[in-house]
Structure 1
Amino acid sequence: MARIDLSDTLQTPFSMVSKKVDLLIPPSVAFILNLLLEIAMRRVIIRPYYFGMGGSKIGWFTFELLNFIISFLILAWISAMFDDLLNGRETSLKDSWNRISTNFGNILIVSLLISVIVALGFILYVIPGVIIGVILTPVIPIMVKKNLNIQDSMKEATNFVFQDGNFWFLLVIYVITLLIGLIPYIGTAVSGFLFTLWASYACVKFS
């Protein structure tokens, strides 16, 4: 494991995409699904709120939960692709999907658990949600890269974040994507797109 090179993380995924266009597909799926969620949220949650029909914390929580589940599942998919490419192996959408499907049960469980915890953190207080997200984000890329079970992935991720001094680098990625997420209408979708690219690359390459 090593410390994340932030400059490399923010730039290299885009140069890799230019050489391997397939890399665009998983984050593009996240973009489309998150955009649809954003539209639904504005119709179901925000619009009723402004028309005096009340805002629902349950609605916000559901939106955040679905948003994170999508992002973390896509994170697993693109992590498999980055791992292949960074190790000089050919990859494809089918091969990378087949790879994560062998450990899909653990990936799904972790995605659900992390999504619930992070979504609750964001609904109750934003800062705890960010901190929890930073700590737990590497779990899935590390699980995919090293084909570990849930317990070992959590241990490796904790070491990667704290022992290797990567907390602040991951925090920067999180904050950048959160700020982008504040852009009206498309912010959440763009944020999800960039988060899956940057977080997967950083965690796969430097873990």
Structure 2
Amino acid sequence: MRINLGDVFTEPFKIVGKNPAMLIPVFIGIILTLLFDVVRFMGPLANLVSSIIIGITTMFFIAWITILFDQYKKGEEIDLKKSFSQINQLLLEIIVLSIVVGFLISLGTLAYVIPGLILALFLIFSPCALVIDKLSVTDSLKKSYSFVFKGENFLQIFLLLLVIFLLGMIPIVGLYLSIILEYILLPYIYVEYSK
């Protein structure tokens, strides 16, 4: 199914409006990002460790919110405790996936930035594939890659990520706006359009 950007920018917010508990992981993720963002200024080692932790927590919260959107799509009641339990069972896989994705994107970025951006685009749905399709780390990377190109979705996903990136450039609040959009829109897209 081809991604409809009009729906992507409206439907997830309607779902979250009906189920405000879904915002709890979003706000926890923002608070953790804010805390570790402050740690970055303590030196180069702190910057490296902070970046790794932010990468892992981002994958964790995207995966958690993906489970919540999946519960909604299946007509189940949104259950934070059940979804957190599910995500905790996959914690090791999420950590490994975060490290692999971070490493690949870093290598790509070292090779003139553009390959890093392309890899980020291809791998962005890997935590969603890991939890929804119950795939291995390698298979979730492959599924994310194929999802970006399946059904002519590349342009829509690229435009969505461009909007998120540009919002992130707004001083002070931009980073947090982009995190909110990333945490809500990416899981919604995968749950809604991956089947």
TM-score bracket, normalised by the shorter chain, equals 0.7 to 0.9
**Within 5 A, what are the aligned runs for 1:27-42?**
27-41=26-40
The equivalent of 1:51 in structure 2 is none
Q: 1:102 to 1:165 in 2, by over 3 A?
A: same
- One-letter amino acid of the structure 2 residue matched with residue 97 of structure 1: F
Alignment RMSD: 2.3
Q: Partners of 2:107 and 2:32 in 1: how far apart?
A: 21
CA–CA distance in structure 1, aligned partners of residues 109 and 19 of structure 2: 34
Separation in structure 1 between the aligned mates of residue 75 and residue 188 of structure 2, nearest angstrom: 15
Bigger shift: residues 154-163 or 128-137: 154-163
Distance in 1 between the 2:107 and 2:21 partners?
Answer: 33
Contact 2:56 2:94 (8 Å CA) reproduced: no
Choose the corresponding residue for 1:95, options 63, 82, 88.
82
Q: Is 1:194 paired with 2:194?
A: no
SS in 2 for 1:164: helix
Q: Which amino acid aligns with 2:185?
A: W
- Give the alignment partner of residue 181 of structure 1, picking from 161, 164, 168: 168
Give distance in 2, aligned partners of 1:165 and 1:60: 37
Between 1:63-72 and 1:116-125, the stretch displaced more is: 116-125
For each residue in 1:134-157, what CA deviation from the matched residue of structure 2 results, as whole angstroms up to 9, or x when unmatched? 100111111211212223322322
The one of 154, 169, 172 aligned to 2:156 = 169
Q: Identify unmatched segments of 5+ residues in structure 1.
A: 46-55
Relative to structure 1, is the Cα distance of residues 44 and 122 closer, same or farther in structure 2, using a 3 angstrom cutoff?
Answer: farther
Number of residues of Structure 1 aligned to a counterpart in Structure 2: 194
Unaligned runs of 5+ in 2: none
Give yes or no for the alignment of 1:148 onto 2:131.
no
Q: Secondary structure at the match of 2:171?
A: coil
Q: Find the aligned partners of 1:67 and 1:123 in 2 and give their Cα distance.
A: 20
When residues 118 and 186 of structure 1 are mapped into structure 2, their CA distance, relative to the original with a 3 A threshold, is farther
In the aligned structure 1, how far is the partner of 2:26 from the partner of 2:100?
Answer: 21
After superposition, give the CA deviation of every residue in 1:20-74 in whole Å (9 maximum; x if it has no partner): 0111011111211222233344x446xxxxxxxxxx6x77655544333222111
Q: Is the 8 A contact 2:65 2:187 kept in 1?
A: yes
Q: Give the share of equivalent positions with the same residue, in percent.
A: 30
**Post-superposition CA distance 1:123-176 (Å, at most 9, x none):** 664433322111001111112112122233223222211233222222122211
The alpha-carbon deviation at position 81 of structure 1 amounts to 0.3
1:157 aligns with 2:144: yes
Please name the residue that 1:106 is paired with: 93
Stretch deviating more after TM superposition (79-88 or 143-152) = 143-152
Pair 1:103–1:205, CA change in 2 (3 A): same
Structure showing greater radius of gyration is 1
CA contact (8 A) 2:39 2:47 kept: no
Q: TM-score, normalised by structure 1?
A: 0.82
1:82 aligns with 2:73: no
Matched to 2:98, the amino acid is S
CA distance 1:173–1:134, change in 2 (3 Å): same
Q: Is the 8 A contact 1:173 1:195 kept in 2?
A: no
Question: Matches of 1:180 and 1:157 in 2, distance apart?
Answer: 24
